[in-house]
Structure 1
C-alpha cells in the first residue's frame, strides 16, 4: 500500500523542499536589498549610491543558519571594548551562543551596550562581533558583525544566520568608532557567508 503512494509522497516532499528553498532565497534577497538601501537613507552613512557596486556577498547557503543554544550570563560583566579609532565602548557580556560546526562545539559571546541602557533601542538589541579565517582574504580584516534581537530568543534558542553578517563602517571609511571583535569571538574556521571585502577606495573624513 505504501509503495503505491511513494511517487505521490516523493512529489509532495520535492514540492515542499523547493518551496522552502525559494522562501529562504527571497528572505535573503529582501534582507540584502534593505541593507544596501540603508546606506542611502542613513544621514551618517559612509557610502553613496555610486559606492554600492563595490559591495558584494557570498552565495546564500542554509548551512550558515546555525541553531544555537543561548546561555544567559548571570554575572554583571562589563567590558571596555576597544574600537578601531582608539576609543573604548562599554558593553555588557549578556550571554553566550553555543552551536556545532564540523562536529565541534563553538561558543560565542554576545553583548549589550552599557552606554545607554535606558534607551529602548539598546534594550532589545544584542551585538555579536566576530573574526574568522576569511579576514584579510575574502572579507574585511577587522572582522564582521551580526545583530540579534533579544525578543527573537525563544526558550533559550535562536537561529544565528551568518548569511546576514555585515561589515563595520570602518571597512569603507575612516572616522568611525567600530568595536574590535574580542578574542572570545575569534573563530578558527572560515565563515563563507555574508558580506565580502569592500572593493572600493577607503574614504577619509
Structure 2
C-alpha cells in the first residue's frame, strides 16, 4: 500500500512537471495578454466575461508569420480622421508603406501613426498596423486585427503577426475602435496571434 502511495505521488509530480512545461511553451507576449485581460484595471472584458475568463485563444506560434518588411516612408502624407466603430474620429497619418513576402507572395500594407499619441511617453516611435486577412470571421475576429511596430533607424522593419490582437470592441461594444482600411487586406490566411473571442 505504501509503495502504491509513493508511486501515485511520483506520477502526480511528473504530471505537474509536464503541465508546467506545457505552460512554459506559451510566449511571453501571450502570458502578458492573459494577465492584462484578468486584471480588472486593464481588461476590456465585461465583468461577467472577466469572471469566467481562463485565457485568450491563440493560434500556435509560427515563425512563418515573423516577416522582414521594407519600409518606404511617406513624409508628404496628409493627416486624416480615422473611421472608428463610433462617431469618434482620431487623427492619424500614414507613416509609410511596408512591403513583405509571405507564403511566396508579396504584400503591401499602410502603416500609421496616431497623432494623438505622439506626445505621450513611450509612443514617440509607435506605429500602428491594422490588417484584414482570410481568417476574419473564420477563426479570427471578423473586423480584422491590429499589430504594432516601432520606427526603425533604417528601412527594414520586423512585423510579427504572432502578436496580432483584436480591437477592444471584439470584447465590449463600449469601446471605440479604428476600422481597418480596406487597402490593408492580406489575401491569405494569417493563422497567428489572437483568435476570435467567444462571448458568454
- TM superposition score normalised by structure 2: 0.79
* Partners of 2:94 and 2:52 in 1: CA distance: 35
* Partners of 1:141 and 1:181 in 2: CA distance: 11
2:106 counterpart of 1:109? no
* Partners of 1:77 and 1:28 in 2: CA distance: 40
Confirm or deny: 8 A CA contact 2:34 2:55 kept in the other structure: no
Confirm or deny: 8 A CA contact 1:93 1:110 kept in the other structure: yes
2:120 counterpart of 1:119? yes
Structure 1: unaligned runs, 5 residues or longer = 1-24
2:44 counterpart of 1:46? yes
Structure 2: unaligned runs, 5 residues or longer = 1-22
Deviations 1:162-188 (A, max 9, x none): 011011110001111100011121111
Helix, strand or coil for the counterpart of 1:97?
A: strand
1:90 Cα deviation from its structure 2 partner: 1.2
Q: Which residue of 2 aligns with 1:99?
A: 100
Q: Which residue of 2 aligns with 1:18?
A: none
The count of corresponding residues between Structure 1 and Structure 2 is: 175
- TM superposition score normalised by structure 1: 0.77
Find the structure with the greater CA-based Rg. Answer: 2
Deviations 1:76-113 (A, max 9, x none): 32121111123222101011111012332211111111
Confirm or deny: 8 A CA contact 2:65 2:102 kept in the other structure: no
Judging by fraction of residues, say which structure has more helix: 1
Deviations 1:24-82 (A, max 9, x none): x9696211001111223462522265343362011111101111111111213212111
Distance 1:56 1:93, change over 3 A: same
